[in-house]
Amino acid sequence: MSLGEGNTPVISLTRVAQSIGLDEVFGKAEWMNPTGSYKDRIAAATINDAIRRSRRGWIGTSSGNGGASMSAYGAKAGLPGYLCIAADAPAEKVRSIIPYGATLLPMSELGIKEMDAIGELADEFHLKLSVTAYRYNAEGMSGAEAIGAELRGQGDFTHVYVPTGGGGLLVAVARGMGASSSARIVCAQPEGCSPIVRFLDQEIEAPYVDKCTSTISGLQLPAPPDGELAAAAVVESHGWGSSVSDEETWAMQDFLSTKEGIFVEPASALAVAAMASDVKNGRLPTSARPVAILTGSGLKDLRRFTSSASPTERTFTMDDLRRRLQTSDANVSPSTR
């Protein structure tokens, strides 16, 4: 059962490379998956496992991306779904789930306690549990290991930057790359929610923090379910943890869209922002050939682009249009631009 997920291309980010002072920088285009994020790979494996185990349907937790994926793949398989979604998920993420017809259950709290309790309900009601973490759904996570396996054939990367919330994606990428890979795995988290990075830096004794102040959707997990596993995978690859502010993340999201033509959601841009920060602080050598996992589409979170005035409120006549073009870049010859 598949909707065509996987086998995403790796794209050279030449302008990013130029601006941060590296010869080459790459992004793995996971936003090209059927519902716009890498979670489709996990949903495909999860639903196939549900079918194998004759589950009556599925129940899952999500900050948005996993929910869209599960709802689409559940619909394809004809399995009913119950989605416990973070109540503060971006509106576009929630709205894009509605068409698939799963039952949406907005939750005010979705921490480890709630995930454990939903796991018990899944067993009681013979539903497949879909939480995108090894702790709850190792069969499903195996679908994301293909990201690492594909990367091995897509270039000789020295570092893989992984935007990290619960830690499962990072573990899957590391497992997919395999023990013989020499690429270092870098765990990228927002400064306002960086339990795994702080644990790797030996600032805290376990990868848990009390609260999250970051607004980067998908990465707001103060108690990551796969935190220990992710930290171990980073150490084994001789990688490190790197955190950046939400503001640096948004600046990189803007750079990627205006200079590379790639509109990804903030979580994805954060991995590239961490790369830039690591070059600046001397951690990433200029000889590096890093790749960032660009996990989800920018269309999934338009909060930064929804101003009160609609962009189509003011209309132009043909005369306005001519005047506008005469005073703009379009009036400059390409060679002098």
Ligand X SMILES: Cc1ncc(COP(=O)(O)O)c(C=O)c1O
- Within 8 A by CB and 6+ apart from 108, the residues are 87
Total residues binding ligand X (CB under 6 A): 19
The two three-digit tokens of residue 183, written as one number: 């690429």
Q: Is 165 in the site for ligand X (CB under 6 A)?
A: yes
Asked if 295 is part of the footprint of ligand X (rule: CB under 6 A), the reply reads yes
Question: Among all residues, whose Cβ is closest to ligand X?
Answer: 218
Of the candidates 164, 194, 214, 242, which one interacts with ligand X according to CB under 6 A? 164
Interface pattern 221-260 for ligand X (x via CB under 6 A): ----------------------------------------
Rounded Cα gap, residues 59 and 287, in angstroms = 46
211 burial via Cβ count (<10 Å: 0-12, 13-18, 19+): exposed
Q: Which residue has the tokens 């870049």?
A: 329
Distance in angstroms (rounded) separating the CA atoms of residues 325 and 313: 19
- Candidates 34, 67, 166, 290: give the one binding ligand X (CB under 6 A): 166
Cβ 245 to ligand X, closest distance in Å?
17
Q: Is 291 a residue that touches ligand X (CB under 6 A)? A: no
Paired residues of 161 in beta bridges: 186, 292
Q: To the nearest whole angstrom, how small is the minimum distance from the Cβ of residue 191 to ligand X?
A: 16
**DSSP annotation string for 34-74:** TTSBTHHHHHHHHHHHHHHTT-SEEEEEESSHHHHHHHHHH
List binders of ligand X among 194-223 (CB under 6 A): 218-219
Interaction of residue 65 with ligand X, rule CB under 6 A: yes
- Least gap, CB of 111 to ligand X (angstroms): 13
Which residues bind to ligand X, rule: CB under 6 A? Answer: 37, 63, 65, 132, 163-170, 218-219, 265, 267-268, 295-296
